[in-house]
Amino acid sequence: MKNSVFGLLSREYSADDMAYQKLRELTISWTRYRYQGEIIEGNSVDEIMAKASQTDAGFCLIQSVGHIIDERWYLSHWGKNGFYDSLQQLAQQQPFLVAAEPHSDGVGSLNTDCLLVNLETYNALNQPHFSRPDSPLTGDNWIAQSNYQQLAMPVFGNDINHCRFYLNECEQSTQILTTLFGRSLKPDMVEFDAQSPQQRFIDKINRQINNAKSGVFLFNIENYGELNARQAKQPLEALFSVAAGFKPYRILMEKGFTEDTQVIFFDYSQSALDIKKHMIEHWDGDDFPGYVARLFDEFPHPEVFYQLWDSTTPENINWADIAHMWQQELEKWGGKENFKAHWQVCRRLPHQFLHCDLLNDRQPLLNKLAEFKHSYLWWSNAFFTIYSHWHFDASARKQQYVDWLNALLHAAPHCEISGADHNNAAVNGLKVGEYLARFEAQHCDQLRPQQLNKISMPF
């Protein structure tokens, strides 16, 4: 959401309160899929607001620990708004102090799982306290201020509520949920009520962590924004890339290549490598929707987990959506003839395929990187996935990333790199040695991510 600062409403917790720490990390991690600014943490709404009011932001989005933003992959022609777009529309409506869901007790209090505060109004009202002194009702003073000033009090509504979970509402459910952290989820494990946020979240997690290693991205979710066609080009000796979408070949076009340039695909999904190889050998660059239909027959679901947009599988796919996505891709290339001509050249380049997991077994990739002096490496968000959030805490994820950078520096110090770091902050426009030096010099943590890129972009 534009012009906003985020707050995290937490409580004091001990080092051995692992369940609460995990909920806190999940809230922060899911926020980082779209928001890369500082997160203001406080033990009260008033504490967060005192700091937020000192920023130049127009709005403050406050989440309680255990709140999860589930931004969904909606296609542009659907006309559906996800969490952030819906919040942006709400923020542009009539003046208000706070937008939130009323508490279910129905006695004039607000849920604090998620609040959107208009900072301009908050400051104009002389920064009122959230609740009245000694009041058992949360947010009753803001409700009173809004009523007195005849300000609207918007509720979030279906579009926003459909894209969020609150996992910390019931202590018993929270304790059960947190026993599952880090484990493989199986159908016969503890089930919550089917409509509960805990079960909806578990279902979403389950689909990814049990299927990601057979996953295939036919299109790229992140854009091509960090590539610059107007820079001076020294043709690449090698491109190293995850096996996803068409971005690898766009990198070749923008960075320059020769007929001897090596294309090395690496991925923890063997299915992604197999389909990329099949595409190179059997697709001529024309009629991609028709080719996808062939893929669904030759590499069937569920053996292959196609990473498609919201609630879509090969069984229920709307082929007009595939056509729409393909048309959007062609527009990025300046039309189908431009794309096809480039594809026909690139598919004749020497290709290699490495099945490796950057978190657990990266040595095959490092060995291959060491063979080239002028290469480009795109790892996408390999260090910031639902799989890694579920299985590793924040400190472990950071250590994995630091270990990766040090190994990469030893293997290929002059390689230009692109992807996302352990906080999902974009990495681009730098070579390994320069990036690592800046990384080590700039302090960061979960609440204050590093910004070491030419172009910030979501993953």
Model confidence pLDDT, tens digit, residues 373-413: 999 999 999 999 998 998 899 999 999 999 999 999 999 99
Q: Is the dihedral of CA 48, 51, 54, 55 positive or negative?
A: negative
Instruction: Identify the three-state secondary structure at position 9.
Output: strand
Q: Is the dihedral of CA 57, 59, 65, 69 positive or negative?
A: negative
Model confidence pLDDT, tens digit, residues 1-37: 789 999 999 999 888 888 899 999 999 999 999 999 9
| Lowest pLDDT segment from 116-130, 336-350, 395-409, 436-450 | 436-450
| C-alpha dist (Å) from residue 222 to 34, 73, 203, 314, 381 | 11, 12, 24, 22, 9
Residue with the bigger pLDDT between 104 and 353: it is: 353
Give the integer Cα–Cα distance in Å for 237 and 226.
20
Tell the residue number behind the tokens 């007790």, with chain if given: 105
The arithmetic mean of pLDDT across residues 146-172, rounded, is 92
Residue 83 near residue 160, CB atoms below 8 Å: yes
Mean per-residue pLDDT of the chain: 93
Residue 312: the pLDDT is 97
- Select from 4, 31, 195, 225 the least CA-distant residue to 116: 4
The arithmetic mean of pLDDT across residues 284-303, rounded, is 98
Model confidence pLDDT, tens digit, residues 171-188: 778 878 878 888 877 766
Spell out the domains of the chain, with CATH numbers in brackets.
Answer: 4-169 (3.90.550), 176-210 (no CATH), 214-441 (3.40.50)
Give the integer Cα–Cα distance in Å for 391 and 70.
19
Paired tokens of 159: 């579009």
Q: Which residues contact 330 (CB under 8 A, 6 or more apart)?
A: 336, 339
Which residues is 117 bridged to in the sheet?
60, 98
Helix H or strand E encompassing 431: strand 426-431
